[in-house]
Amino acid sequence: MVTGFNHSGLVVKDLEGMIDFYCNTLGLSVQREVDSVAPPEGDHTGIPGARRKLVFVGKPDGTHLLELVHFVDPPSPTGHLDNHQLGASHLCFNVEGMQEFYENLSGQGVEFVTPPKFRDAPDGGRRGICYARDPEGNWLEFIEWVTA
């Protein structure tokens, strides 16, 4: 029986650059780091002897973490799936002050797909949404829920 979420993971090429983005640009912080070496017979990764650096970022409450996975050996191949391809994924973050958030990140060079789109909700509140990409091209969704 599933009891909740633990973390989501992204395989990254430039670990330090991605830590910088998720911590300094988005405001998360490093929660823990792990040097992982799979045994020669393999382990849960399915890659015998794989050496990885794992960095978990998130908010101190630890309700959900993002695991940045850097394969040291064997190195990860390059390439990404388009956002509409099977197997593609995205991370979604709740934000406050969507328009200001968007303008701040745009000013820092974050690539957005569109500016925020706002819609009135049936409860009299308002919903804002926009998509962006992190420095390695991973899709990010940002949502703001403003209640009436």
Show the CA angle centred on residue 79, arms to residues 46 and 117, nearest 5°.
Answer: 110
Domains assigned to the chain: 7-73 (3.10.180.10), 90-146 (3.10.180.10)
The percent of residues above 70 in pLDDT, for the chain, comes to 97
DSSP string, 2-60: -----EEEEE-S-HHHHHHIIIIIT--EEEEEEEEE--TT--TTS-TT-EEEEEEEE-T
The strand pair at 139-146 and 126-133 is best described as antiparallel
Which parts of the chain have pLDDT scores under 50? none
Q: What is the pLDDT of residues 57-85, one digit of tens each?
A: 999 887 899 999 999 988 888 877 777 78
Write down the pTM of the prediction. Answer: 0.88
Evaluated on CA atoms 88, 59, 78, 106, the torsion sign reads: positive
